[in-house]
Structure 1
Amino acid sequence: MHAVLTAGRAPYRLGLRRSWRERVVSYGLLAPATVLFAIFMFYPLLYTLYLSFFDWNMTRPTKEFVGLENYISVFTDPAFGKIMGNTGLYILLLLVFDFAAPYVFSFILSFVVKKGKNFYKSAIFLPSVISLVVGTMIFVWILNPISGPVATVAKALGLTVPIWSNTQGLVIVVLSIMTSWKIFGYNFIVVMAGVSSVPMEVVEAARLDNIPTWRIFLNIVVPMSSSTGIYVLILSIVTGMQQIFTPINMVTKGGPDNASTNLIYAVYDQAFGFFKTGTASAYAILMMLLFGFLLFLEFKFVEKSVYYEN
Structure 2
Amino acid sequence: MQGAYKVLFFIPSLFSLVVGAMLFTWILNPVSGPIAYLMKSLGMTMPNWSNSGILAITVICFITNWKVFGYNFILLLTGLGSIPANIIDAAKIDGIPKWKLIWNVILPMNRGIAIYVLILTIVQGLQYVFTPINVITTGGPYYGSSNIIYQTYLNAFVLYKTGTSSALAIVTFIVFLVLLFIEIRFVEGKAKNYA
Per the shorter chain, which TM-score range?
Answer: 0.7 to 0.9
Is contact 2:152-2:166 (8 Å) kept? Answer: yes
Deviations 1:104-127 (A, max 9, x none): xxxxxxxxxxxx211111100111
Instruction: Quote the residue 1:180 is aligned against.
Output: 65
Higher RCO (C-alpha under 8 Å, 6+ residues apart): 1
Q: CA contact under 8 A between 2:17 and 2:67: conserved in structure 1? A: yes
Larger radius of gyration: 1
| Residue number in structure 1 paired with 2:97 | 211
Matches within 5 A, 1:2-41: none
Query: Does 2:94 align with 1:229?
Result: no
Q: Aligned pair count?
A: 193
1:116-131 → structure 2 map (5 Å cutoff): 116-131=1-16
Q: 1:234 to 1:207 in 2, by over 3 A?
A: same
Give the one of 196, 208, 224 matched to 2:81.
196
1:3 — aligned with what?
Answer: none
Superposed structure 1 runs of 4+ greater than 6 Å apart: none
Judge conservation of contact 1:252–1:260 (CA < 8 Å) in 2. yes
Which amino acid in 1 is paired with 2:23? I
Q: Go from structure 1 to structure 2 and tell me whether the alpha carbon gap of 1:219 and 1:150 turns closer, same or farther (over 3 Å shift).
A: farther
Once the two structures are overlaid, the 10-residue window that deviates more, 120-129 or 290-299, is 290-299
Counterparts of 1:201 and 1:156 in 2: how far apart (Å)? Answer: 55
When the two structures are superposed, what TM-score results if normalisation uses the length of structure 1?
Answer: 0.56
Please say if 1:261 is aligned against 2:142: no
Q: Distance in 1 between matches of 2:38 and 2:90?
A: 47
* Paired position in structure 2 for 1:11: none
The answer on whether the counterparts of 2:116 and 2:187 sit within 8 Å (CA) in structure 1 is no
Matched residue of 1:260: which SS? coil
Question: Unpaired runs of 5+ in structure 2?
Answer: none
> How far off its partner does 1:170 sit?
2.2
Equivalent residue for 2:170?
285
Distance 1:157 1:216 in 2: 45
Where 2:53 maps in the other structure, the secondary structure is coil
Q: Which amino acid aligns with 2:29?
A: N
Give distance in 1, aligned partners of 2:87 and 2:45: 49
Structure 2 letter corresponding to 1:258: Y
Alignment-derived partner of residue 124 in structure 2 = 239
CA RMSD of aligned residues (A): 2.5
TM-score by structure 2 length?
0.86
Preserved CA contact (<8 Å) 1:194 1:225: yes
Report the alpha carbon displacement of residue 253 of structure 1 after superposing the two structures with TM: 0.5
Alpha-carbon distance change, 161 to 215 in structure 1, aligned in 2, over 3 angstroms = farther
What's 1:165 paired with?
50
| Unaligned 5+ runs, structure 1 | 1-115
CA displacement at 1:254 relative to structure 2: 0.6
Aligned to 2:158: 273
